Amino acid sequence: MMLLRLILTALSLGALPATVAIDLPDLPYSYDALAPAISEQTLRTHHLKHHAKYVNTANELLKSEPSYANLSPEKIIKDRKLRMKNLSLFNNVAQAINHAFYWKSLSPNGGGQPSGQLMDLIQRDFGSFEELKNKMESEALTCFGSGWAWLGYDASKGHEKLVVMKTTGAENPMALGITPLLTIDVWEHAYYLDFQERRGEYVKAYFDRLVNWSFAEENLKLLGLVIAKDEL
Partner 1 sequence: MFSVHPHRSGGLSALGISKIFRESKIHIASTQLINTIMSSKLISPALRAALNLHSSKLPAATSQLASAHLSSAPSGGKHELPGLKYDYGALEPVISAETMTIHHTKHHQTYVTNLNATLEKLDAATSTADASSIIALSNALKFNGGGHINHTLFWENLCSKDESAYSEGGELSKAIDSSFGGLENMKKELSAKSIGVMGSGWGWLGYNVGTGRIETATCPNQDPLQATTGLVPLLGIDVWEHAYYVDYRNVRPNYVNAIWDVIDWKVVEARLVKAKSG
Contact between 85 and partner 1 per CB under 8 A: no
- Give CA 172 to chain center in angstroms: 7
Contact between 144 and partner 1 per CB under 8 A: yes
Measured from the CB atom, is 89 or 122 closer to partner 1? 89
With a CB cutoff of 8 Å and minimum separation 6, the contacts of 159 are none
Identify which range of 61-69, 104-112, 138-146, 220-228 contacts partner 1 by CB under 8 A: 138-146
Contact between 183 and partner 1 per CB under 8 A: no
Identify which range of 27-35, 151-159, 162-170, 219-227 contacts partner 1 by CB under 8 A: 162-170
Contact between 45 and partner 1 per CB under 8 A: yes
Please give the Cα distance from 43 to 146 (Å, whole number): 18
Identify which range of 20-28, 69-77, 156-164, 189-197 contacts partner 1 by CB under 8 A: 189-197
Measured from the CB atom, is 20 or 193 closer to partner 1? 193
Contact between 68 and partner 1 per CB under 8 A: no
Choosing from 111, 192, 201, 204, the residue that interacts with partner 1 (CB under 8 A) is 192
Beta bridge partner(s), residue 150: 165, 183
Give the ranges where the chain is alpha helix by DSSP (H): 2-12, 40-45, 52-62, 66-69, 73-78, 80-85, 87-105, 116-126, 129-141, 192-195, 199-205, 213-223
CA-based torsion, 55, 196, 31, 185: positive or negative? positive
Identify which range of 11-19, 54-62, 192-200, 212-220 contacts partner 1 by CB under 8 A: 192-200
Please give the Cα distance from 210 to 96 (Å, whole number): 21
With a CB cutoff of 8 Å and minimum separation 6, the contacts of 69 are 18, 19, 20, 62, 63
Contact between 91 and partner 1 per CB under 8 A: yes
Measured from the CB atom, is 45 or 113 closer to partner 1? 45
- Give CA 140 to chain center in angstroms: 14
Please give the Cα distance from 141 to 135 (Å, whole number): 10
Choosing from 63, 159, 161, 189, the residue that interacts with partner 1 (CB under 8 A) is 189
Task: Note the residues at the interface with partner 1 (CB under 8 A).
Answer: 45, 49-50, 53, 91, 144-147, 168-170, 187-189, 192-193, 196-197
